[in-house]
Amino acid sequence: MSFRPSRRDALAVAALALIAAPAFAADEVDLGPAQPGRIRAAKVEAAIRLIPADFKFATPGKLTVASVPGRLPFAVLATDNKTPVGSEPDIAQLVADGLGLELVNVPTVWADWPLGLVSGKFDAVIHNVTVTEERKEKFDFSTYRKDLLGFYVALTNKIANISKPEDIAGLKVIVSSGTNQEQILLRWIEANKAKGLAATELQYYDDEAVLDLAIQSGRADAYFGPNATSAFKASRQNNLKQVGTFSGGWPITAEIAVTTRKGSGLADAVTAVLNEQIANGNYAKSLARWSLSAEAIDKSQTNPPGLPKK
């Protein structure tokens, strides 16, 4: 069973806005282009030696990285309306510093990054790209973060833990249509049905404010979506709590990675830089800055197994 709010429903829920906690204010986050709080790194000579002699950077002496500004903590445009800032540009800075290069962070749209990378417009893409077997046919990867999905409920909700399919039986769960997390929930619902457990009602909202109000008002029990955005929101509001996380490829583990051109040879150098940052603590500090510590990995890998082809 699913629920999609009508315009009347949306207006009714929106009327509760005065009693709901607001989303974080822009002035609570440094959106200036200078980013003085960004973690910086020293050169990693061993990684620099791994860069192929014939590798041609988009701009000599610089690492040109594509980012997709749109939502924190990943990236948004700074107050100058041209510089991407967020967790992904911070990782890009660590990589550029480690390779001894100046960072050039180029804003783009999601649909354009593959062609931009293949054509040499960018040296790398660093924006929440999950490693998949299909993508590995065209690109190389250096992992730097777990791909996690999270369950979030109102702070006052009595739900303490969602760790298995049976835990959603009888609940009303918000999810985005057409997403991997929706497919996971649909599989769980079918499994629970076969066991004779209570039905789960899926709810869909296009408006994030209405979604938030549905959670706070009790119209919905939980939200299941990308952990990074919800964790960032929860860290700046006092009305949400995480009650469970799952791999974005459940039951298969999925990881996010720096994406480079297939066979260019840059991936091994990037992986070496990331592992040095993991070892010296810069990596942990960078993730903590954007409330992403739960998605930290112990070791970066070049082209690990990815999510299987559909």
pLDDT in tens, 46-56: 999 999 999 99
pLDDT in tens, 197-255: 999 999 999 888 999 999 999 999 999 999 999 999 999 888 999 999 999 989 999 99
In the block, residue with structure tokens 């593959």:
114
CA-wise closest residue to 240 among 249, 248, 230, 250: 230
φ, ψ of residue 77 in degrees (nearest 5)? -80, 140
Residues 243, 161 contacting (CB under 8 angstroms) = yes
Q: Say what the pLDDT of residue 208 is.
A: 85
Residue 103 has pLDDT above 80, yes or no: yes
The upper half-sphere exposure of residue 136, i.e. CA atoms within 13 Å in the direction of its Cβ, equals 18
Angle formed by the axes of helices 87-98 and 266-280, nearest 10°? 100
Q: How far apart are CA 143 and CA 256, in angstroms?
A: 6
pLDDT in tens, 104-163: 999 999 999 999 999 999 999 999 999 999 999 999 999 999 999 999 999 999 999 999
Q: Say what the pLDDT of residue 29 is.
A: 87
Domains of the chain plus CATH, in order, are: 2-19+148-247 (3.40.190.10), 42-147+254-295 (3.40.190.10)
Q: Name residues whose C-beta falls within 8 Å of residue 95's C-beta, 6 or more positions apart in sequence.
A: 63, 65, 124, 126, 258, 270, 273, 274
In the DSSP assignment, the letter for residue 52 is: -
pTM of the model: 0.83
CA-wise closest residue to 306 among 251, 228, 252: 252
Q: How far is CA 175 from CA 67, 150, 191, 307, in A?
A: 25, 11, 18, 21
